[in-house]
Amino acid sequence: MRFLPIFLDLKAGPIVLVGEGELVRAKLRLLISADAQVRWYATDGNHDVSGFDAESAASVERASGDPLKDDLKNVIAVLCAGAGDLGIAMASHARAVGLPVNVMDDLQHSTFIFPAIVDRGDVVVAVGTGGASPVVARRVRERIEAALPARIGDLATFIGRFRKVFAERIDEMPLRRRFWERVVDGPIGASVLAGRTGDAEKALNAIDDPEEFAGKASPGFVTLVGAGPGDPDLLTVKALRALQDADVVFYDDLVSAEILDRARRDAARVSVGRRIGKPGIGQDAINTLMIEAARVGQRAVRLKGGDPFVFGRGGEEIAALREASVAYAVIPGITAGMGAAAESEIPLTFRHQALRITLLTAHKARDAEAVDWSALTDTRMTVVVYMGISAAATIREGLLTAGRSPQTPVGVFARATRPDAKSVVGTLNELPALAAQVESGPAILVIGDVVMHSAPWRDAFLTDIVNNVRMAAE
């Protein structure tokens, strides 16, 4: 982020506008509709504002003389549009007295830029692209416009009117937040959004004990949330909601920073993950942290890579919560195998060809030796291996010894759904070499005929075939 969105108080002082022509009039229109106080230096002396209503036009201070001589006292920002070289000089003038300045279409001389704006009264959304693409900003704005209820501004105004009253009635900050969340999410908020502010006001005033309404007595809660394989857009709607609602997030090492970013801004974030070579705090300590958080009334999220119940120790965690009588819920996530499959177009089942899927873990060679490979020889079974990189050689041996063909297609999918995803495909015979090619993990191994349908397979081998045919033809 290069440009931080902030909101200027238009009541604090005038904005100085410098320039001429249609460009400056467009800015004038924006400023007038925002009720700004405007001091306008028309560089061509033409202060004509026909087309604006009389009252708005009257509110504009028409300044003459050299804007560079304006001492800019009390001015809150300077704007130049269609001002040519004077705009550049004005930018230095503004900067010399420490004022934010925008020279239209001139990033180099501007210290701020205009966002695309969604204006719903007290609710204002600013969308920026760092000046890169106004068209993209406008598209984002359209989506936000469509997603926001029409009266969202009324809801903010309504709450603003009562904030102080309830701040006096509810001592603790977190409880106050929860109070307003319940108001916004419940029937009172719905009444305002439906245009029935009177009803909403009555209902709000009828709340006898705001702390109880906020759920003071209600105990804490732990939600095990599947974070998916890495792409934050693969979070479920429920997962997102839980993250937005959390007081504290206990997250694993596999959880990407982009996903953690989706948690409520002021939620505490606690890393409890193991890392290769770093032991982490241990399962018992994780359980204790979750239980303690719930016991002090917090809404805790236990955020785990992929799905909590696929090689995620989710089962142990809820057992510990049950034993401690802590309420919990589980929100599934997209497990890494499915993320990799979708990304690389591997249908994990396929009519007549793959009738079963086995999810397997083989962390080290020692784990892999413990696997009963004879149960995995069915050629119509897709085997998806988690934590399998370090055991690739043992997996190969196990499957070959049990009788699976060395020509069985396999794929290694590292960092699936992340920006640095990498996949390699080949045969079971080559598995250890393939695993060595993906650099750092995490990675999933997929073993079975369905790998032949995958995009990496098509890229690697079908182009070869096409080339061979072409070469043979030539």
* First-residue to last-residue Cα distance in the chain: 54
Q: Is 240 helix (H, G, I), strand (E, B) or coil?
A: helix
254 makes contact with ligand SAH (CB under 6 A) = yes
Among 116, 249, 310, 383, binds ligand SAH (CB under 6 A): 310
Cα–Cα distances (Å) from 57 to 31, 185, 251, in that order, read 11, 41, 56
Cβ proximity to ligand SAH, 86 vs 421, nearer residue: 421
Q: What does 178-211 look like in DSSP terms, one character per residue?
A: HHHHHHHHSHHHHHHHTT-HHHHHHHHHT-S-HH
Q: Is 278 helix (H, G, I), strand (E, B) or coil?
A: strand
* Residue 366: Cβ within 10 Å count: 10
Cβ proximity to ligand SAH, 213 vs 311, nearer residue: 311
Cβ proximity to ligand SAH, 335 vs 394, nearer residue: 335
Residue 295 makes CB contacts below 8 A (sequence gap 6+) with 219, 220, 326
273 makes contact with ligand SAH (CB under 6 A) = no
Say how far apart CA 89 and CA 349 lie, in whole Å.
68
Among 158, 250, 413, 457, binds ligand SAH (CB under 6 A): 413
Specify the residue for token string 């109880």: 212
Among 246, 259, 416, 438, binds ligand SAH (CB under 6 A): 416
Say how far apart CA 193 and CA 1 lie, in whole Å.
33
* Listed residue (117, 112, 44, 45) closest to 78, CA to CA: 112
What percent helix, strand, coil does the chain show, rounded to 5? 45, 20, 35
Among 220, 312, 398, 426, binds ligand SAH (CB under 6 A): 312
Residue 222 makes CB contacts below 8 A (sequence gap 6+) with 290, 291, 293, 294, 300, 301, 302, 321, 326, 327, 328, 329
Q: Fill in the per-residue mask, 430 to 449: x = in contact with ligand SAH (CB under 6 A), - = not in contact.
A: -----------xxxx-----
Pair of tokens at residue 108: 């180099």
Cβ proximity to ligand SAH, 44 vs 345, nearer residue: 345
Judged by CB under 6 A, the stretch of 157-165, 196-204, 318-326, 407-415 that binds ligand SAH is 407-415
230 makes contact with ligand SAH (CB under 6 A) = yes
Binding-residue total with ligand SAH (CB under 6 A): 25
Cβ proximity to ligand SAH, 112 vs 386, nearer residue: 386
305 makes contact with ligand SAH (CB under 6 A) = yes
Q: What is the DSSP letter of 363?
A: -
Among 14, 115, 229, 426, binds ligand SAH (CB under 6 A): 229
335 makes contact with ligand SAH (CB under 6 A) = yes
302 makes contact with ligand SAH (CB under 6 A) = no
Say how far apart CA 430 and CA 33 lie, in whole Å.
68
Among 18, 104, 340, 438, binds ligand SAH (CB under 6 A): 340
344 makes contact with ligand SAH (CB under 6 A) = no
Cβ proximity to ligand SAH, 41 vs 413, nearer residue: 413
Say how far apart CA 321 and CA 305 lie, in whole Å.
20
40 makes contact with ligand SAH (CB under 6 A) = no
Cβ proximity to ligand SAH, 305 vs 448, nearer residue: 305
Residue closest to ligand SAH when measured from CB atoms: 306
41 makes contact with ligand SAH (CB under 6 A) = no
* Listed residue (296, 328, 324) closest to 309, CA to CA: 328
Q: Return the amino acid letter for 209.
A: D
Cβ proximity to ligand SAH, 67 vs 305, nearer residue: 305
Judged by CB under 6 A, the stretch of 14-22, 69-77, 332-340, 402-410 that binds ligand SAH is 332-340
336 makes contact with ligand SAH (CB under 6 A) = yes
Say how far apart CA 457 and CA 414 lie, in whole Å.
15
Among 40, 158, 386, 457, binds ligand SAH (CB under 6 A): 386
Among 214, 387, 424, 428, binds ligand SAH (CB under 6 A): 387
Q: Describe the strand order of the beta sheet including 299-304 as a list of residue ranges.
A: 268-271, 248-251, 299-304, 221-226, 328-331
Cβ proximity to ligand SAH, 210 vs 230, nearer residue: 230
Among 382, 408, 417, 423, binds ligand SAH (CB under 6 A): 417
360 makes contact with ligand SAH (CB under 6 A) = no
Q: Which residues bind ligand SAH (CB under 6 A)?
A: 229-230, 254, 304-307, 310-312, 335-336, 340, 386-387, 413-418, 441-444
